[in-house]
């Protein structure tokens, strides 16, 4: 187990399409060590998700761990009336994941990323999705996520196709949908009753 160096924007590994893993690879000792390193690295930096390309491994695997009472994000995950998707997630491994949009209505969050330090960007994504994936025993699984957790999934799984949150930002004259962290804290932190939320990493 070890804490890996995080790849930063500009490194080619973050722009590659990650390779799917075979069932034989999923059961290997090498893969288990990779997962341990991913967990250690995510916890070291206080993240709620991490994709393998972020630690220089171009493999289609990501981990997510998020409790809806997380002190940094609890305001983002208040369950809406009628919501039937997951809004929290115990530590889970997602191998060869595929995303299907279930509700194309969009929600906006100011996103940040360990691989894009010191920047925040306003990104709009579908509010409800299904993720089909293999678990660490190579068995097929699926999960439906909505609200903030749906954004977490889409942010992390974008890394597996070589996409960063900055690629999703929409620009318009006179607007500032991307900001350094200091200026974000000063000018852009969403109000509690805002339709826009925050995903710091």
Stated as kind and residue range, the H or E segment containing 95 is: strand 89-113
CA distances from 124 to 6, 21, 94 (A): 25, 30, 23
Catalytic residue among 65, 111, 156, 198: 156
Task: Tell me, yes or no, if 175 is annotated catalytic.
Answer: no
Return the biggest CA–CA distance within the chain.
Answer: 52
CA distances from 143 to 44, 100, 140, 189 (A): 26, 10, 11, 30
The single residue listed with the structure tokens 């609200």 is: 147
Cβ–Cβ under 8 Å, residues 105 and 117: no
3-state SS string for 30-93: HHHHHHHHHHHHHHHCCCCEEEHHHHCCCECEEEEEECCCCCCCHHHHCCCCCCCCECCEEEEE
Catalytic positions are: 156
């Amino acid at each position: 187990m070890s804490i890996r160096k995080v790849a930063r924007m500009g490194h080619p590994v973050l722009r590659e399409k990650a390779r799917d893993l075979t069932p034989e690879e999923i059961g290997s000792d090498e893969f288990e060590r990779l997962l341990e390193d991913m967990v250690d690295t995510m916890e070291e930096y206080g993240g709620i998700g991490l994709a393998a390309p972020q630690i220089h491994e171009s493999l289609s695997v990501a981990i997510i761990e998020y409790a809806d009472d997380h002190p940094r994000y609890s305001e983002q995950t208040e369950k809406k009336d009628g919501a039937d998707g997951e809004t929290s997630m115990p530590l889970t491994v997602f191998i060869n994941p595929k995303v299907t949009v279930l509700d194309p209505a969009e929600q906006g969050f100011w996103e940040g990323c360990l691989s894009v330090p010191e920047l925040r960007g306003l990104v709009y994504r579908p509010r409800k999705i299904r993720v089909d994936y293999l678990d660490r025993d190579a068995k097929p699984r699926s999960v439906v996520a909505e609200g903030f957790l749906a954004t977490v999934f889409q942010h992390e799984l974008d890394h597996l196709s070589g996409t960063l949150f900055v690629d999703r930002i929409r620009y318009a004259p006179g607007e500032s949908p991307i900001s350094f962290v200091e200026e974000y804290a000063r000018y852009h932190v969403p109000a509690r009753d805002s339709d826009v939320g925050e995903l710091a990493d």
